[in-house]
Amino acid sequence: MKNPLNKRLPRELKSELPKYLIIFLFFVMTISAVSGFLISDNSLRTATEDAFSKFSIEHGNYEFTERSSDEDIKAIEQECGIRIYENFYKEELVQSLEDTTFRVFGERTEINLVDVWEGSLPSADDELGIDRLFAKNHDLGIGDTIRFADKEFRISGIVALTDYSCLYQNPSDMMFDNDKFGVGVLTKSGFDKVRDDHIHYSYSWLYNNEPADDAAAKTAAEELVAKLSAHGSIERFIPAFSNNAIQFALNDMKGDSMGIVIFLYVIIIILAFVFSITISNTITKEAGTIGTLRASGYTRGEMIRHYMILPMLTLTAGAVVGNLLGYTLLNDIFAAAYLNSYSLTTYETLFTPEAFVKTTLIPFVLMFFINLIMLVSKLKLSPLRFLRRDLKKRSRKKAFRLNTKIPIMIRFRLRVIFQNLPNYIMIFFGVLFAEFMIMFSLIFGPMLDTFQENTTDHLLAKCQYILKAPVPTGTEGAEAYTASSLRTIEDETGIVEEDVTIYGLDRGSSYIALSSEKGKVDISTAYHKKYGVDIGDKIKLKDQYSGKVYELEVGGYYEYPAIIAVFMDREELNGILGYEDGYFNAYFSDNTIEDIEEKYIATRITETELTKTSRQLMRSMGSMMIVFTLFGTVIYVLVIYLLAKIIVEKNTQSISMTKILGYNDGEINSLYIHSTTIVTVISLLVSLLICDRTLAVVMFQVFKSYSGWFEYVMTPGVAFKVLGLGLGTYLLVVFILSRKVKKIPLDEALKNVE
């Protein structure tokens, strides 16, 4: 025989449709977003990890100033236990694209193999395989041409260079740049026909016995660089474990996965509290029905099962729809976000059991037991207590007295707030969480704008030229200096190691005025703020090739708010680094230097180069920030509406009584809905202060692994947007609740009177 109680389910669903629809949407949004992210992250991460063996990605690379002989390479291989492969490249400005650099390699057949997304690898000397992301950002496709080194090349294939999954031009760069920097491959003969003005003698290596982990790889790299230095002048040495071009994308995906799981469990906690409140309200609302059914012979277990059906069906429906969206639409959206930032290899969407467990099974089990515990606790009372609507487990206490000098309407609102305090506490936490997400997304743009402004407003010179050798120039205003790069020491800072640019300047420089006395150094204000280094402190920096550690005493600050840098006397720097007196390897200049041959210029540092971090982050993260804003806004609306609706329903009888007493709808709204308005506005203001302080810490943690200093900025514009968005969406909730209050009948006050 079918359970007659099941006939109540359609009526209950219809009467509580808004509540169950909101819960359904909550689960659909959460499960689809997190599931889609985890699926795309796992699929792309698996393909990236598999690429190391599938495409024979190097264990590291080094660059000599001169080409090594075959005999020298064999000697290095035998001495160091490695296999060496030529990986020469030529770097030229793209003549068909403004301020854009292109790095081209020859044919790859043994190491760092190329993955083809579209088309084919070049087969003729004038054909080019071009990085997928660089091509996308410049609207280049198969058959288009690109011109560099005074030659024109036709694009034959859209490819991914597996040792450039992240387009870092230099290991010391603050950020990758897939807009102004690109990579590609030519045939061997095509590569040989490109001029050698900017050729780099780069060699990749594979260990005969690969190190077991990063710690072992670090030890092996330290031994290797010491041995290599005896065979040539090292321009660059990068083990794969520390090469951002290889590792950054993979590390980013791993970190994002952890962050999204934390986000999921915060959502589950919020849902758990919302469920507990809604269940309590349902039991209170249907106390008379429950008492009648229990008195008619229905057991406690049957009642629990009955009230479990709709919530669990809602969750099941949300899980089904959420997973479908996660594996289709959301998976594509999140995968596109990664593919718009990184030059990854081709991939296949994988079924991800971890995503299903975390996004579906765990929430399902949690919601099941939360419902079960709440129902068991509430249904312990006798049928008579339900019929009398006496659901308090403790004897009623007299409400605490409010000062009679407080106007009656204010006292009434305070009573409403105190009687619904658990609901209002949940409203506060819902507002806090939603506001944090919205502020996180909105603060991102102003921070990057501030970084870009700090960079462009404090340029040391319009252009800096880094030379391969000291070459004189007759350019007016050009000033020689010594440039070097050392690294911070992670153990002492707690921040990931990063490169520090060292400027050796003449006293009386027209570009940078040193404030420290001899024997001391100036540090950039960015260094001071990020590392907390003050005047009089000593900093330790190391040479990443030799391992030598330098200790420098800080004597002053130089206003350079975005870049980590040290400024010191040129002769002192030359002495520390072992250079001869008068040595220099760079120029500051506000005018273009044209009398130095290109083959002697290693790098040009311009405003475009220095602002790549902010440009790239905005390109990579801009769309994701919009998602955070939308998601936060929806959560805000759903939490506020659901809890405010419960408050109105809980006071249905009182609202009906006030109507009988002659109060109109506007006056009733001022008593009940305005109480929620007061709590919501206070929650918005308090949450704004809490989120501001919390975000200052969070943003430091987010950006501390990036080179440079990203100053946290809370602009008035962001604050007004957050408050405006919160109040604007709340008006929608008020409109819906006002209609609900208007529909409450007068006879409701005469029902269920004790």
- 308-357: per-residue pLDDT in tens? 888 888 888 988 998 899 888 888 888 888 888 889 999 998 888 888 88
Is a pLDDT exceeding 90 seen at residue 208? yes
Q: Is residue 401 a part of any domain in this protein? A: no
Task: Give residue 583's region: left, alpha or beta (phi > 0; psi -120 to 50).
Answer: beta
* Distance between CA atoms of residues 578 and 576, nearest Å: 6
How many domains would you assign to the chain? 4
Q: Are residues 551 and 431 part of one domain?
A: no
Q: Which of 22, 220, 16 is nearest to 642 (CA)?
A: 22
Q: Is residue 398 a part of any domain in this protein? A: no
* Distance between CA atoms of residues 114 and 116, nearest Å: 6
Is a pLDDT exceeding 80 seen at residue 569? yes
Is a pLDDT exceeding 60 seen at residue 447? yes
Query: Rg of the chain over CA atoms, in angstroms?
Result: 33
Instruction: Please tell me the predicted confidence (pLDDT) of residue 102.
Output: 93
Highest mean pLDDT out of 128-142, 489-503, 530-544:
128-142
Q: Is residue 399 a part of any domain in this protein? A: no
Q: Are residues 430 and 361 part of one domain?
A: no
DSSP letter for each residue of 5-32: GGGHHHHHHHHTHHHHHHHHHHHHHHHH
* Distance between CA atoms of residues 181 and 99, nearest Å: 9
Q: Are residues 597 and 542 part of one domain?
A: yes
Provide the 10 A C-beta neighbour count for residue 296: 8
Q: Is residue 400 a part of any domain in this protein? A: no
The beta strands (E) that lie in 390-439 are given as: none
Of the listed ranges 515-519, 561-565, 702-706, the least confidently predicted one is: 702-706
Q: Which of 109, 111, 110, 127 is nearest to 119 (CA)?
A: 127
Cα angle 234-237-240, degrees, rounded to a multiple of 5: 160
* Distance between CA atoms of residues 283 and 383, nearest Å: 13
As separate numbers, helices (DSSP H) first and strands (DSSP E) second, the chain gives 23, 20
Highest mean pLDDT out of 276-280, 595-599, 605-609:
595-599
DSSP letter for each residue of 515-550: -SPTT-EEEEHHHHHHH---TT-EEEEE-TTT--EE
In one letter, which amino acid is 368?
Answer: F
Is a pLDDT exceeding 90 seen at residue 119? yes
Is a pLDDT exceeding 90 seen at residue 399? no
DSSP secondary structure letter of residue 356: H
Q: Are residues 255 and 245 part of one domain?
A: no
Q: Are residues 262 and 283 part of one domain?
A: yes
Residue 672, CA distances (Å) to 419, 422, 430, 652, 752 in order: 11, 16, 20, 10, 21
Q: Cβ(20)–Cβ(310) under 8 Å?
A: yes
* Distance between CA atoms of residues 589 and 459, nearest Å: 11
- Name the 3-class secondary structure at 105: strand
Residue 139, CA distances (Å) to 120, 130, 144, 156, 291 in order: 18, 12, 9, 15, 70
Q: Which of 265, 631, 253, 251 is nearest to 440 (CA)?
A: 631
Is a pLDDT exceeding 90 seen at residue 219? no
Q: Are residues 225 and 96 part of one domain?
A: yes
pLDDT band for position 1 (50/70/90)? Answer: very low
Q: Which of 108, 607, 620 is nearest to 337 (CA)?
A: 620
Is a pLDDT exceeding 70 seen at residue 657? yes
Q: Are residues 591 and 541 part of one domain?
A: yes
Instruction: Please tell me the predicted confidence (pLDDT) of residue 614.
Output: 62
Instruction: Please tell me the predicted confidence (pLDDT) of residue 725.
Output: 83
Chain centroid, CA 188 distance in Å: 40
- pTM of whole model > 0.75? no
Out of 548, 578, 605, pick the residue that ends a domain: 605
Highest mean pLDDT out of 209-218, 271-280, 438-447, 609-618:
209-218
* Average pLDDT of the residues in 385-393: 74
Residue 458, CA distances (Å) to 511, 594, 603, 606, 738 in order: 11, 25, 20, 12, 55
Q: Cβ(76)–Cβ(231) under 8 Å?
A: yes
Question: Using one digit for the tens of pLDDT, what is the confidence trace for 714-747?
Answer: 888 888 888 888 888 788 878 877 877 777 776 6
Q: Is residue 701 a part of any domain in this protein? A: yes
Out of 571, 590, 605, pick the residue that ends a domain: 605
* Distance between CA atoms of residues 307 and 483, nearest Å: 73
Report which of residues 97 and 5 the model is more confident about.
Answer: 97
Q: Are residues 189 and 79 part of one domain?
A: yes
Q: Are residues 382 and 419 part of one domain?
A: no
Q: Is residue 556 a part of any domain in this protein? A: yes
Instruction: Please tell me the predicted confidence (pLDDT) of residue 104.
Output: 96
Q: Is residue 417 a part of any domain in this protein? A: yes
Residues linked to residue 504 through DSSP beta bridges, in sequence order:
482, 568
Provide the 10 A C-beta neighbour count for residue 338: 22
Instruction: Please tell me the predicted confidence (pLDDT) of residue 686.
Output: 92
> What tokens does 251 get?
């590390």
Q: Cβ(125)–Cβ(161) under 8 Å?
A: no
Report which of residues 206 and 612 the model is more confident about.
Answer: 206
- Name the 3-class secondary structure at 238: strand
Instruction: Please tell me the predicted confidence (pLDDT) of residue 615.
Output: 64
Q: Are residues 81 and 14 part of one domain?
A: no
* Average pLDDT of the residues in 286-312: 85
In one letter, which amino acid is 729?
Answer: T
Do strands 151-161 and 463-467 pair parallel, antiparallel, or not at all (unpaired)?
A: unpaired
Q: Are residues 256 and 244 part of one domain?
A: no
pLDDT band for position 182 (50/70/90)? Answer: very high
* Average pLDDT of the residues in 479-484: 90
Q: Cβ(536)–Cβ(553) under 8 Å?
A: yes
Q: Which of 58, 31, 548, 118 is nearest to 314 (CA)?
A: 31
Mean of the per-residue pLDDT values for the chain? 83
Question: Using one digit for the tens of pLDDT, what is the confidence trace for 80-103?
Answer: 999 999 999 999 989 888 778 899
What is the distance in angstroms between the CA of the first residue and the CA of the last residue of the chain?
A: 36
Is a pLDDT exceeding 80 seen at residue 654? no
Out of 226, 249, 272, pick the residue that ends a domain: 249
* Parent domain of 312: 1-55+250-392
* Distance between CA atoms of residues 264 and 17, nearest Å: 25
Q: Is residue 170 a part of any domain in this protein? A: yes
Is the Cα torsion angle 33, 35, 36, 40 positive or negative in sign? positive
Q: Are residues 270 and 184 part of one domain?
A: no
